[in-house]
């Protein structure tokens, strides 16, 4: 039976642990976690991003995360946690599952940008 968006999301949410703003901030401060915004550039330009986040649209994730590609970004390291977020938490869960499949051992889902910013995570303008 073919996969559906719902089944893919259910599997991703089950595989990628959800964390709170406090947990995310602690991981970033204490363990140098990569805070990763997987929204599209237009979304980030319109609302800003969480302070210190790296924006990599979900469609470029594999290329940026794989050190064997010419598009790799050095911020992606398997020795640090990766905390993802998007607009609602779905794309970040799917992206987290992809990073797990690529061998990233500690991948966590912060969920929605608007929820994190409302809970007090600082926001900065997109550059």
How do residues 56-95 score in pLDDT, each as one tens digit?
999 999 999 999 999 999 999 999 999 999 999 999 999 9
**What CA–CA distance (Å, rounded) separates 107 from 124?**
23
Architecture of the domain delimited by 5-124: 3-Layer(aba) Sandwich (3.40)
pTM for this model (two decimals): 0.95
- For residue 45, what pLDDT is reported? 96
């Amino acid at each position: 039976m073919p996969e559906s968006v719902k089944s893919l999301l259910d599997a991703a949410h089950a595989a990628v642990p959800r964390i709170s703003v406090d947990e995310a901030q602690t991981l970033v401060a204490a363990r140098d976690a990569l805070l990763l915004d997987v929204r599209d550039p237009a979304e980030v330009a319109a609302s800003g991003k969480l302070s210190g986040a790296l924006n990599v649209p979900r469609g470029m994730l594999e290329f940026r995360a794989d050190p064997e590609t010419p598009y790799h970004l050095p911020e992606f390291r398997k020795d640090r946690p990766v905390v993802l977020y998007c607009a609602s938490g779905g794309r970040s869960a799917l992206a987290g599952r992809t990073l797990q499949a690529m061998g990233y051992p500690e991948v966590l889902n912060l969920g929605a940008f608007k929820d994190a910013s409302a809970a007090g995570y600082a926001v900065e303008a997109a550059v």
